C-alpha cells in the first residue's frame, strides 16, 4: 500500500491500548518471501506523509532502512515463523522432537476419546462451504477469548463475508472447523497470499479448553492441507506466540520499524514511545519478583 494513512502509534500494556498518537504513514509490509530473500524493498515516494510503518523487516536490513535519511525506531522484534509441509505430513511431523510428537498425539487421542472415538474436522473452500463455515464460526468466535480479550476474533460483518466469498470463488482460502459430538468447538481461517496460506484467525470455545481444541484443529488442518497438496506453506505473519513456535518449521528474525522524518513532533512521539515501552518492560520484569505479582493484572 503506497497511500499515506492515519496510523495510530499505540501506547500499550499487553493487549490494552491506553492511548495513541496519530501520524500519517505509508505502510510497507514485507511478505514472508521478501523477508527470507533479505533485500530492502523500494520505498514509495513519501510525499506529505510523516514516514513509513515497515512490518516484518529483517533485522539485518534495519541499517539500510536508516540509510534513507529518516530516523528508524524499532517498535518490536520477533521471529516470523512459518510451517513448511511440502514433503508431506510425516516429514512435517519428523521436524518435532520425540517429546513434542508424543504430546501432540496424546492431545489428539484425548480429544478423540472425548468425542466418541474420532477427531471430527471439516474443511471449507468453495463459496457455499465458506458461507456455512461463517455461520458456524461467527457465534463460536464471539465466545472465544480472542474476541473477548484481544478484539481479534473472526470478523462477522458483511464486508468480511463478501471478502471470504470472493476468495473462495477463486480458490484463495481454506477454512476448518473442529466438532465435538456434533457441535463446532474451534475454527481456523487461512486466506491465501502469494501461493501461501496466511495464519489469520484461530479460536475455540473456552469451555472446551481442557481438551486443547485449538492445538488439535491446527495439527489436523495441516494434515489435510499436506494431503491436498495445493498450498504447502503456512505463514504465521508478524508477532510471536507459543502455538506459532510449536507448529513452525522455521523462522526469521524480524522487526516492526517506524521510519520517520526527524521533525520536532516526531521526535516527541518517538521519545514518548521509547520511554513508555521502557517502563512497561521494567514493570513486566518486576512483576516476577515476590510481592509484585499484582502488576501482571495491568497487562490483561
List, for residues 3-37, the tens digit of each pLDDT value. 889 989 888 876 678 889 999 999 999 999 999 99
Domains and CATH numbers, the chain: 5-79+252-299 (no CATH), 86-231 (3.40.630.30)
> What is the pLDDT, as a whole number, of residue 28?
92
Strands (E), the chain: 5-13, 16-29, 51-58, 71-84, 120-124, 173-180, 183-193, 196-198, 201-204, 233-235, 250-260
pTM confidence score: 0.84
User: pLDDT per residue over 45-90, tens digit each?
Assistant: 988 899 999 999 999 998 887 766 788 899 889 999 999 999 999 9
Euclidean distance between CA atoms 50 and 86, whole angstroms = 42
Pairing of strands 201-204, 183-193: antiparallel
% of the chain beyond a pLDDT of 70 = 90
Pick from 269, 258, 251: which is nearest to 54 by CA?
258
Say if residues 32 and 82 touch (Cβ distance below 8 Å): yes
User: pLDDT per residue over 158-209, tens digit each?
Assistant: 899 999 999 999 999 999 999 999 999 999 999 999 889 999 999 999 899 9
Euclidean distance between CA atoms 204 and 153, whole angstroms = 10
Q: Is residue 148 over pLDDT 70?
A: no
Say if residues 31 and 1 touch (Cβ distance below 8 Å): no
Average pLDDT, integer, range 123-136? 96
Q: Is residue 145 over pLDDT 70?
A: no
Amino acid at each position: 500500500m503506497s497511500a499515506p494513512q492515519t496510523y495510530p502509534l499505540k501506547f500499550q500494556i499487553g493487549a490494552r491500548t491506553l492511548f495513541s498518537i496519530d501520524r500519517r504513514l505509508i505502510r510497507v509490509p514485507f511478505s514472508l518471501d521478501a523477508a527470507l530473500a533479505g533485500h530492502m524493498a523500494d520505498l514509495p515516494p513519501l510525499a506529505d506523509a510523516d514516514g513509513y510503518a515497515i512490518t516484518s523487516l529483517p533485522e539485518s536490513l534495519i541499517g539500510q532502512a536508516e540509510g534513507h535519511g529518516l530516523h528508524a525506531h524499532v517498535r518490536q522484534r520477533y521471529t516470523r515463523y512459518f510451517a513448511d509441509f511440502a514433503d508431506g505430513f510425516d516429514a512435517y511431523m519428523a521436524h518435532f522432537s520425540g517429546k513434542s510428537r508424543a504430546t501432540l498425539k496424546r492431545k489428539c487421542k484425548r480429544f478423540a476419546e472425548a468425542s466418541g472415538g474420532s477427531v471430527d474436522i471439516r474443511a471449507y473452500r468453495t463459496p457455499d462451504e465458506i458461507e456455512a463455515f461463517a455461520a458456524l464460526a461467527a457465534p463460536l468466535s464471539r465466545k472465544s477469548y480472542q474476541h473477548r480479550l484481544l478484539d481479534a476474533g473472526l470478523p462477522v460483518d458483511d464486508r468480511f463475508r463478501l471478502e471470504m466469498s470472493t476468495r473462495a470463488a477463486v480458490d484463495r482460502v481454506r477454512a476448518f472447523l473442529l466438532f465435538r459430538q456434533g457441535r463446532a468447538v474451534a475454527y481456523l481461517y487461512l486466506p491465501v497470499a502469494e501461493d501461501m496460506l496466511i495464519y489469520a484467525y484461530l479460536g475455540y470455545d473456552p469451555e472446551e479448553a481442557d481438551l486443547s481444541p485449538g492445538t488439535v484443529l491446527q495439527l489436523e488442518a495441516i494434515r489435510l492441507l499436506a494431503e491436498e497438496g495445493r498450498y504447502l506453506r503456512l505463514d504465521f505473519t508478524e508477532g510471536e506466540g507459543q502455538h506459532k513456535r510449536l507448529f513452525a518449521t522455521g523462522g526469521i528474525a524480524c522487526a516492526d520499524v517506524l521510519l520517520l522524518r526527524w521533525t520536532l513532533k516526531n521526535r516527541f512521539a518517538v521519545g514518548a514511545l521509547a520511554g513508555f515501552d521502557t517502563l512497561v518492560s521494567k514493570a513486566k520484569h518486576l512483576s516476577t519478583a515476590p510481592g509484585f505479582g499484582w502488576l501482571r493484572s495491568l497487562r490483561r
